[in-house]
Amino acid sequence: MADIQKSDSNKPFQSFQKNNKKEGNEEGMRQVPQALGPEKSILSLLTLDSATYISRCIGLGVSEDYFYLPAHQILWNIFSSRYSANLPTDIVSVAQALSDQNQLEAVGGHAGLTEIYNYTTTGAYFEHHIEILRDKFILRSIISTTTEAATRAFDSEEEVASLLDTIEKDIFSIRERSSKSEDDASFTAILNQAIANFEDTLKRAEKGTGVLGLTTGYEELDKRCNGLKAGDMFVIAARPSMGKTSFLLNIIEHIALDVKKPALMFSCEMPAPQIAERLLFARAGISRNEILRRKTLTKNEMGHFGKAIKELREAKLIIDDTAGISINELRAKARRVVRELGQLSVIGIDYLQLMKSNTKQAQNSREREVAEISAGLKALAKELKIPVIVLAQLNRGPESRTGSSMGKPMMSDLRESGAIEQDADMIGLLYRPGYYAKDEEERQALADKAVLTLAKNRNGAVGNIPLSFTPELMKFASRERDENEMDED
């Protein structure tokens, strides 16, 4: 039997057993990525014009980790802290502050400090040197992350799926840091963005045009939530046969084809070709059953089909029909799409209760499993900074109600976990009153009517949103509110 210790497959891991030292390298050891010259250049610029360059560094997300030498990290911290406190950064004041903190010798004493203050540099190289520091920092982060990943993989003390998700998240966070732009990091910039968003919303309201977030294609829904916003989790819940899959597809179709934004759809129940077929017929506005009955298409229908096919082929729409997908696998695939496309506007999921969580805790409790999935989807929305629309199944509560409440859903009807109600930013309960009609006459009268009850809305008003439903096209549309319909705010 082969000796595993001598196997060539272990060679890539041998380097992880060596400890790189920050000061110097022993013979045979590789040098940790660093750029001492640019580090001194940036620190020297901070002494020349702290108000300008420290604020720009902070805006670019520079931290002490950008600097390799511990002495340089100390200097960065002292410069940035004194800038924040509106204190001078002249050499005498800084030397005294370092001495008071017993850190003067750690930066090389007065000689080391003088070297930084007298280092020859120019602001013309600021951005280039920051870019070098960022690249070296990212390389060190990759080395640190992969080394830790290898150690944890050898230890094998946690579940494989959980470990893989953690490692992928760490790698993704490195990519996020590498693409950081100026003014991304400071709270002032965040506050300015919030003010700008509100001003934009106010202007749109005055003009009566548009919404701030991503439009859904349903005017009243967009008005109530001001569009789907980054980080939002929108749960659409209903009993079977209410058309929740169609409603989700209608929104995805609008975003991908009308707004022309990239969209990702996870279908745990329906195969991808069936999803594509539904989109095709809905977009063409043609009844599939009618065509099958006639066994032919008219010239006009052929034209509509051709246009719909062209639009769907040009759309940036990705459909994944993995059955019983786990939350870890879904996250991994979503991150991969973001890397490949460079951007993603929305994720649709059909539906939450068909997903899985592979943790040991989830295996012992279905409620715990659903809670982990729900929390994971909300975290994904925040991580990717896009809205996530999730379908969910309701329990039999609507069927058990009587009188005017017969069939009407409530948030408490969400199956298996109250965590969904807690995690969601919006919850829409889809309901078709004709499904619960007392007789055929009433069923016919209510056949095309549907209601989306916005039961939770963190960013706006709740209430009933009237919709119409065309079963032949599996398509929902906005409609005027009937006289006898009240908006239950």
Task: Give the CA angle between residues 10, 12, 15 to the nearest 5°.
Answer: 105
Q: What is the pLDDT of residues 94-128, one digit of tens each?
A: 999 999 999 899 999 999 899 999 988 888 888 89
In sequence order, the 6+-apart residues with CB closer than 8 A to the CB of 27 are none
What confidence tier does 190 reach under pLDDT thresholds 50, 70, 90? low
Hey, is 186 helix, strand or coil? Answer: coil
Query: pLDDT > 90: what percent of the chain?
Result: 17
Question: Residues 285-311: what's their mean pLDDT?
Answer: 82
In 196-328, the DSSP E strands lie at 233-238, 263-267, 317-320
Q: What is the pLDDT of residues 416-437, one digit of tens each?
A: 667 888 888 999 999 888 777 7
Strand 449-457 and strand 463-470: the pairing is: antiparallel
Quote the mean pLDDT of the chain. 80
Q: pLDDT value at position 235? A: 93
- Cut 0.85: pTM above it: no
Q: pLDDT value at position 75? A: 92
Q: What's the rounded Cα separation, in Å, for the pair 333 and 150? A: 22
The domains found in the chain, sorted by start residue, are 36-178 (1.10.860.10), 216-478 (3.40.50.300)
What confidence tier does 175 reach under pLDDT thresholds 50, 70, 90? low
Please check whether residue 302 is in contact with residue 294, taking contact to mean a CB–CB distance below 8 angstroms.
no
In terms of pLDDT, which residue wins out, 196 or 399? 399
Residue 183 pLDDT > 50: no
Residue 327 pLDDT > 60: yes
Residue 172 pLDDT > 80: no
Question: For residue 83, what are its two tokens?
Answer: 């800038």
Q: What is the pLDDT of residues 30-64, one digit of tens each?
A: 788 998 999 999 999 888 887 778 877 876 778 88
Q: pLDDT value at position 188? A: 59
Q: pLDDT value at position 196? A: 66
Residue 240 pLDDT > 80: yes
